[in-house]
Structure 1
Amino acid sequence: MNDDSQFWTQIDHLTEDLKNEERARKLREQFCQTRDQDAVKYVRTQDITRQEVLHRIEAVVENVVTCIARGEALYLSYGRRNSWDSVSFREDVGLEMKNDAKMTEVRFDVPTSTNRFTLMLKVLALCYRLVQTDTYSTKRDLYYSDVQSFGSQSIVDDIIDNLCCLLQVPRRCLHVLATSKGLVYGDLCFTDASGSYIDCSNNRTGTQVTNHVGGISNIHSHAKFVLIIEKDATFQKIIDDGLMDRMRNCIIITGKGFPDINTRMMVRKLWDTLHIPVFALVDADPHGLAILFVYKFGSRSLSYESHSLTVPSIRWLGVLPSDVKGLRIPEKALVPLSPSDLKKASHLMRRPFYKELPQWMSELQEMLHSGYKAEIQSLTAISETFLTDVYLPTKLRCGGWL
């Protein structure tokens, strides 16, 4: 059997393993939904209709009106998104907001939150109009609709996320979009929300991830796997060095560092649609691992919609700290761990999924023991094209992932 046959056989075996995992996951999920049907508050949100979203907004407004009629204090209540106490971990989902999550109240009768309460109702009204008319807007457009009242873009962003948590819907269900920063390249074609046909193999600098991932349809690909790449520079190097010409049945995607929600949704959509393995290539440092965890398990602040953002089956392809040692990367190409790195590593080891990933955490411990971190670019210390000519092909061919 030649090297190419071994390579694709290895990928096919992983694909079958993942299909078996997915079948088991669906059975577990069906069991949990049946068992907890009456108790579950935070449920899957992919298939919420426009009418249901409108009803949920109307219910919030009706409650406010009822409080006014009764002379009661006005308030809005939603799960506390930024507390680890509000989050649990499920292997088949990732980070998930608890049904009994601690709540945050924004009250009209408390001077420190009166303005926030008013702005939340204002944004809620804007979202209601968007959903009602089946039109879309960006977060930036919402901010510029009343700059004086909102004060800053960050306030609008936070309000939208809190409203999503309150209504238990993904942001796209409120018809509010964010500008994408991610890029995708490879064997992938689809129709975007505007009806345009997109071929992601045409642009060798990468095709921008659409702002409306939920509007993508007619996905077509012969890809055998997806490769997430942490950095744009590495993404471009892989294309420029011709690796994608030699490995055509592949899709690569980058969030240019910490991924925006559209890039995460795109990875999830490819996984849901194509049912192929997803690998990740990140720096061998605590911050690279934290980025990988966001793709794999989600984030604390968006735990209420992890079902539509996470890909728990992602494999860590590299750069592994053990690779740094095994390849004998010169010490001059490595960087000492900073106080920020050590703090991030400490936080990672306290995450709910820590005990579920013994091999991953063993790699983290090896990094801490060495006292050094390695960026993907450190591989060029071996040779300029080592990443694309040797490292990635060998790792994929030999199953060198976790």
Structure 2
Amino acid sequence: MADQFTEVDRLTETLRESLETAVNRQEDIGRQDVLTRIESVIQTIVIGVSKGEAPVLRVMNRSRWENIRFQKSVGLVLNNVSLVALRCDCPSSATKFALFLKVLSVIYKLVQSDSYATKRDLYYNDLQLFGSQKTLDFIVDDISCLLKVPRRSLHVLATSKGFLSGDLCYLEEDGAKVDCSSSSTAVPVSSNVNGIRNIVSSAKFILIVEKDATFQRLLDDDFCTRLSPCIIITGKGVPDVNSRLMVRKLWDALHIPVFALVDADPYGIEIMYIYKYGSLSMAFEAHSLTVPSVLWLGLLPSDIQRYRVPEETFIPLSQADEKKINSLRNRNYITCHPEWEKEIETMQRLKQKAEIQSLASIAPHFLTRVYLPNKLRYGGWI
């Protein structure tokens, strides 16, 4: 069985050699440091009020590509960020100003008491005040960005939506042992990935799976043990922060290849890029969220023709798809990967997209017994 994966083994050795000298630049921030930074923000407001000035908070604008710089070894990082002024005397920002201070005060109490809460907890403590979970989530991220600390240092946790399975055991922060090796069930990604320790695994690679349906198919076919020891993880579409943190944590701990299995469509490609290089809104925390070595295992647009996927399973590109493709091709990280760019061009030329499930039209177990084994055996990734 080991001889079947010489290409994966070679890739593993290359990764380990390059990662031995790598330094994780994202440091945990001490509790006192976080408290000091919050106090500094409040002090600035108080001083302004004492001078008869209207209180103002200046937060980074995290929604503009102009504020982002691409760094190949890390991904999307903030660069020359423009600021947005939240004024208490301005009708358009007064509400957000008040919410910002409210959340900041809650975070201060959490850090001071060394206790934790989920974003969901904070939201349900005052539904009417926040109006929506999205509003609260955005403010928490803004505070993390303003204070220049990882979100985990704010003692505010996010509920995870991802799952993982495979050759993996670890301890949670509270000492609970987690065994992900059951072939029939998956383990939810921890809400406190940073607290995970004592990671033990003999996996040869990590496989990121875009969709839960495909993830379940791999579980049903006992993919993690029947083919080769590995770890599979899904963020169920666009990944949440904890799923991204988990992939990064495993990559740092195990130094093994990380592959992505996504649909051959522009949205699948973008999801893969989020794991690899990060996202616009979370660029301020790129150093702990991205895995720049992620490799595209499938489904490649060129695979549609190579494996003679039945045409009736193809889906024509919509106007939204074409718009997304053009958006992707305008991003500077695409040009760093000519092979990826070529695959995107192939999709655009064919004017067709295909889901991973389309491989089942060739044979029910084609994905797990032919497609993936051949890809891993012969180095069919880019």
Q: TM-score range by the shorter chain?
A: over 0.9
Q: Which amino acid aligns with 2:189?
A: V
Counterpart in 2 of 1:275? 255
Aligned partner (choices 120, 124, 127) of residue 104 of structure 2: 124
| CA distance in structure 2 between the aligned counterparts of 1:375 and 1:25, rounded to whole angstroms | 36
Letter in 1 for 2:302: S
Give the whole-Å Cα distance in 2 for the aligned partners of 1:262 and 1:270.
12
CA offsets 1:285-311 (integer angstroms, 9 cap, x no match): 000000000000000000000000000
- Residue 37 of structure 1 corresponds to none
- 1:5 pairs with 2:2: yes
**Cα RMSD over matched residues?**
1.4
Which residue identity is paired with 2:180? C
Q: Which residue does the alignment assign to 2:146?
A: 166
Question: In structure 2, what is the equivalent of residue 62 of structure 1?
Answer: 43
* Alpha-carbon shift at residue 54 of structure 1 (Å): 1.2
Q: Would the aligned equivalents of 1:25 and 1:92 in 2 still touch at CA under 8 Å?
A: no
User: Equivalents in 1 of 2:27, 2:339: separation in Å?
Assistant: 32
Structure 1 segments (4+ residues) deviating >4 Å: 23-26
* Aligned residues with identical type, % of pairs: 52
Q: Match for residue 342 of structure 2?
A: 362
Which position in structure 1 is the counterpart of 2:76?
95
How far did 1:246 drift? 1.4
How far apart are 1:203 and its partner, in Å? 6.1
What is the letter of the counterpart of residue 68 of structure 1?
Answer: V
Distance 1:377 1:298, change over 3 A: same
Separation in 2 of the partners of 1:72 and 1:363?
56
Change in 2 beyond 3 A, CA 1:204/1:46: farther
In structure 1, distance between residues paired with 2:26 and 2:219: 36
Of 355, 365, 369, 1:385 maps to: 365
Unaligned runs of 5+ in 1: 30-43
Whole-Å separation in 2 of the counterparts to 1:55 and 1:306: 24
Task: State the SS of the aligned residue for 2:122.
Answer: helix
Q: Does the CA-based 8 Å contact 1:45-1:168 persist in structure 2? A: no
The superposition leaves residues 94-149 of structure 1 with CA deviations (integer Å, 9 ceiling, x where unpaired) of: 00001x21111111121211111111001000001111111110111111222222
Which 5+ residue runs of structure 2 have no aligned equivalent? none
> Which amino acid in structure 2 is aligned with residue 70 of structure 1?
K
Q: Is the 8 Å Cα contact of residues 187 and 248 (structure 1) preserved in structure 2? A: no
Tell me whether 60-69 or 261-270 shows the greater mean CA deviation.
60-69
TM-score scaled to structure 2, two decimals?
0.97
1:53 aligns with 2:43: no
The DSSP-based 3-state class of the residue aligned with 1:342 is helix
- Is 2:12 the counterpart of 1:18? no
Name the SS of the counterpart of 2:207 in structure 1: strand
Partner of 1:242: 222
- TM-score scaled to structure 1, two decimals? 0.92
> Which whole-Å deviations, capped at 9, do the CAs of 1:155-192 have from their partners, x for residues lacking one?
11111111111111121111111111101000000111
Counterpart in 2 of 1:349? 329
* Aligned mates of 1:195, 1:20 — CA distance in 2: 32
The one-letter code sitting in structure 2 at the alignment partner of 1:218 is N
Partner of 2:267: 287
Instruction: Kindly report which structure 2 residues correspond to 1:296-315, keeping only aligned pairs within 5 A, or say none.
Output: 296-315=276-295
Q: Tell me the amino acid that sits aligned with residue 12 of structure 2.
A: T
For 1:340 and 1:328, the matched residues in 2 are separated by 26
CA contact (8 A) 1:185 1:204 kept: no
Whole-angstrom CA distance in 1 between matches of 2:228 and 2:17: 26
User: Where do 1:72-221 residues align within 5 Å?
Assistant: 72-98=53-79, 100-202=80-182, 204-221=184-201
Q: CA deviation at 1:46?
A: 2.9
Q: Deviations over 1:250-278 (max 9, x none)?
A: 00000111111100000000001111110
Letter in 2 for 1:59: S
